[in-house]
Structure 1
């Protein structure tokens, strides 16, 4: 192992849930560099702060195409949910999926894969759906949940080109417990300020207007699931949520 790889692996070791495969090191390293860049500030200030304070946790899935490799994911999330409140208010679980040797998937292909993963997790969840979270995705208070915990989810893919904030060299899903967003309601000074800063940084980072799907949890017009996976074009909208409560 090279001298440049060793420190990276040592730095990541304390932030990894499960194993740290060799293929995952460069992906995690590049992501941390993106999040902490001062030349092109990443839009989500919470993710930036978490990266700087070692508040992120990483999980790795060896094959994005093979659902047998996804079987490690439920345990990774359960382990994270056992400790996330002791890590930091600014924490997220980032799961990186090893790409196949030839990747030419389109954004729509990844959209389906993303919802396949969430459906897989739901069907392998051993805890009851939170009583306070509606089961209907067309409800303003619906949120994906796992292990009895409401979780905001974000997907990044290699197919995203125009929306750079949702682009990543490998298929990536970020899980943020809703607890992270407590006291950040839009009608609070801190919540309002955070949204304004993030939207301005989105304009600079993506070179365009933020997606109209970005809204506030609980707003009657907002649907959380639409924010999970954003298409490259603001005009592109999925007709209905693929997730089915079972």
Structure 2
């Protein structure tokens, strides 16, 4: 059963973590046609492009966790229209997800697509918008900051947290051209709970294996070398927030 909530402000929220499996492009076509049949064309188009990118067999997408999460139906999606500029409703969706994310599966993420805006087209503009979204979301967070997460970004262990849940955040934009792993056809932000990475780090066999796969795919997928900020959380010389938005295209 697919649970769909269409909000008054016309933001479509789709919970994918209910056992929906999208392993083939044909599955994607059937899924979005049924789910989005009454939605705006931009939402249908962005979801379709996203799924086609992640499920490509000829050009494997580097984020293997995201690909597996999509195939297993463990991702959650929301679509934010241009009319929603204060992101209060987005905060509500992310709040619900933060409370229930552990029920989705180990490869879960929350993916927010923003309606294309012709007035924003440069990396600098997208970067400013990205941090504005995080700042506004933080303003709606009514839970205490996690005790084990520093409160200042200068600390190497700082990371964005929401509703008491530390999260790794990734922004994709149309302005990222050469770094195709960060390209999207619209402004898009993905939130991954920190617990997803509990056994994925440089000290675990699984972590090193995933890192090898991701880096191998990055070399063939992107037209530039992997970004020097790509490090494990807590690794010496690492500030995870520098991975949120890459200022080099």
Q: Which residue of 2 aligns with 1:115?
A: 131
Q: Which residue of 1 aligns with 2:247?
A: 231
CA positional deviation for 1:9: 3.8
Q: Distance in 2 between matches of 1:196 and 1:12?
A: 36
Q: Which residue of 2 aligns with 1:83?
A: 100
Q: Give the number of aligned pairs.
A: 222
**1:140·1:218 contact (CA, 8 Å) conserved in 2?**
yes
**1:151·1:177 contact (CA, 8 Å) conserved in 2?**
yes
Gaps of at least 5 residues in structure 2 are: 1-27
Calculate the TM-score normalised by the size of structure 2.
Answer: 0.84
**2:79·2:112 contact (CA, 8 Å) conserved in 1?**
yes
Q: Which residue of 1 aligns with 2:207?
A: 191
Q: Which residue of 1 aligns with 2:196?
A: 180
Q: Which residue of 1 aligns with 2:228?
A: 212
Calculate the TM-score normalised by the size of structure 1.
Answer: 0.85
Q: Distance in 1 between matches of 2:29 and 2:220?
A: 32
CA positional deviation for 1:140: 1.7
Q: Distance in 2 between matches of 1:6 and 1:152?
A: 31
CA positional deviation for 1:12: 6.9
Q: Which residue of 2 aligns with 1:52?
A: 71
CA positional deviation for 1:11: 5.3
**2:156·2:240 contact (CA, 8 Å) conserved in 1?**
yes
Q: Which residue of 1 aligns with 2:53?
A: 34
**1:20·1:60 contact (CA, 8 Å) conserved in 2?**
no
**1:43·1:165 contact (CA, 8 Å) conserved in 2?**
yes
CA positional deviation for 1:23: 2.6
Q: Which residue of 1 aligns with 2:111?
A: 94
Q: Deviations over 1:174-201 (max 9, x none)?
A: 0000011011121111111111110110
User: Aligned pair 1:129/2:129, yes or no?
Assistant: no
